[in-house]
Amino acid sequence: MEDTPLSTDDGASAKSSSRYTLIAIALHGLLAIGLLYQLGLGVWMEDIPKSPPGIRAEWFNWHKSIGLVLGLLIVLRGAWRLSHRPPALPDHLPRWQTWTANANHALLYACMVIMPLSGFLGSSFTPYPIKFFGTALPRLWEASAAMKDALSAIHTACSYVFMFTIAAHIMAAFWHALRRDGILKRMWP
């Protein structure tokens, strides 16, 4: 069977199952919890006062470490997604819903790539080392305030797009749950 990256259409394959694989469901659940936590943490930590010194930096380092772990999980998820065809959406769904779902999922994947990448790259341009659960990672290049500011702006702007897209995604999931049309079950163990 041929793989179709980022597409939920597997044509009229008789072999297609009606739900995602267990690995896809587990990664989806783990990342949903991790990303919602990380988004909340990111917004919350911005308000931590700079004095007394240390507390703000500790939370920022925690955010960076969790963000890097999430980045690794996202790579795993992407690899699984590209090598495993998702189940085709049911025929009874109107075309606009299939289109909106695909657009929503593509945007979610884009944000899942941009968030950890912009966070990591932005932090790599500050004068401080990135500490991964306490261990300083090697410096990749010279600090640059201009690069740091540009990547921070991308990180922050993308976080808002991400929150909006996730909110739409979760509302759609609940809407399908209320209609009992079986869509939620596709991503449920």
By CB under 6 A, residue 25 contacts ligand HEM? no
User: Which positions from 125 through 144 interact with ligand HEM, judged by CB under 6 A?
Assistant: 130
In terms of C-beta density within 10 A (0-12 exposed, 13-18 middle, 19 or more buried), how is residue 151 classed? Answer: buried
**77 burial type by CB count under 10 A (0-12 exposed, 13-18 middle, 19+ buried):** buried
Interaction of residue 183 with ligand HEM, rule CB under 6 A? yes
Locate 67 and state its tokens.
């963000």
Task: Report which of 134, 158, 122, 117 is spatially closest to residue 62, judged by C-alpha positions.
Answer: 134
- Contact map string, positions 44 to 83, toward ligand HEM, x by CB under 6 A: --x-------------x--xx--xx-xx---------x--
Distance (Å, whole) CA 130 – CA 147? 16
Q: Around 15, how many Cα atoms within 13 Å sit in the side-chain half-sphere? A: 5
Among 32, 93, 147, 150, binds ligand HEM (CB under 6 A): 32
Per DSSP, the three-state class of 171 is helix
Determine the residue with CB nearest ligand HEM: 42
Give yes or no for residue 161 binding ligand HEM (CB under 6 A).
Answer: no
Binding site for ligand HEM (CB under 6 A): 8, 28, 32, 35-36, 38-39, 42-43, 46, 60, 63-64, 67-68, 70-71, 81, 86, 89, 101, 105, 108-109, 115-116, 119-120, 122-123, 130, 152, 155-156, 159, 166, 169-170, 173, 183-184, 186-187
